A and B are shown apart, each in its own frame.
Chain A
């Protein structure tokens, strides 16, 4: 397994080809015993899940722990997946349940910031902009994340799934097990609250 995780790129040339296998095909392969398919799924989802789970905790270490729990469940419960739902919906649902279980276990701690983790900068994807623009964007993103953390959790999670993870309303509805109408309403409310806070940030 160690070897498999570390030699992913070398072993799964087919999976890295321009004609990538769908998540559903990969999980089917993993169900048939193909460990490279599992590695590919881990690679595809680890960052996405982290960005999702992070919104529950605002703590990177805890979020990574929950993502790992989720990926272990993917390993042990792969046979439970049936090809009637989208794989991403299934995996996000596991992540959400793990996050909620973890939240119940521990009282929520809001001591961590997105940009610092015990003094260490967090590794983020940068987009080749000028330094000035990057700095400005970083401040804006920091504010966005701070304000996002201030809105009610019900709104925040729905907004994150929609506007950060870019999932469809149907998927979000399935993951959160809430009717689509309620999801749309929560997302709208969350966006409005966030935009009001962002307005104050711009005025500063």
Chain B
């Protein structure tokens, strides 16, 4: 390895961006030429200094100026506000929630009305006493007899009428 190649590889060695073969070659060059170790150290220190350098901060009136420029360009009115002032995402969540509430309410109303209907039916059944049920059975038997007679001789029905 010559000096130019060595120099080209300094950052890659510092950043561990070499394969093993290249690294060994680089490190052998360094041990053969200790005078260049300082060079590597200087680059490393410079990187470290840049990493730790304080940052500039925007001036205190930056936001106000930006706002003013946006206003001058009439951009604050052009911003898309979503649906009814909600973002599309929030609007979707809201719609889903309302839909779920609607479905739940419909389900509850439906099950309540079914329950009330069943309750009414059971009430009407309960009105019949055991004696009533016997009377009803007798009535049905009589009707069956009439039907039988009707089938045998249609005149019976006519006479009844």
Contact = CB atoms under 8 A, between A and B. Distances in A.
Interface residues of B, number: 42
A43 to B, nearest CB: 9
B43 A191 contact: yes
Interface in B63-84: 63-67, 69-71, 73, 75-76, 79-82
Contacts of A38: 79
Interface in B101-158: none
B113 to A, nearest CB: 41
Given A6-B63, A188-B10, A75 B43 contact: no
Say what secondary structure dominates the interface of chain A: helix
A1 B67 contact: yes
A194 B64 CA distance: 37
Nearest to A43: B63
A5 B50 contact: no
Interface SS of chain B: helix
Interface size for chain A: under 10, 10 to 19, 20 to 34, or 35 or more residues? 35 or more
A54 interface: yes
Nearest to A49: B58
B160 interface: no
B93 to A, nearest CB: 12
A72 interface: yes
A185 to B, nearest CB: 7
B82 A141 contact: no
Interface in A156-177: 159, 163-164, 166
A195 B67 contact: no
A192 interface: yes
Nearest to B46: A195
Interface stretch (A12-20, A88-96, A101-109, A124-132): A124-132
Interface of A: 1-2, 5-6, 29, 31-35, 38, 42, 46-48, 50-51, 54, 60, 64, 67-68, 71-72, 75-76, 114, 122-127, 137, 140-141, 144-145, 159, 163-164, 166, 184-185, 187-188, 191-192, 194-196, 198-199
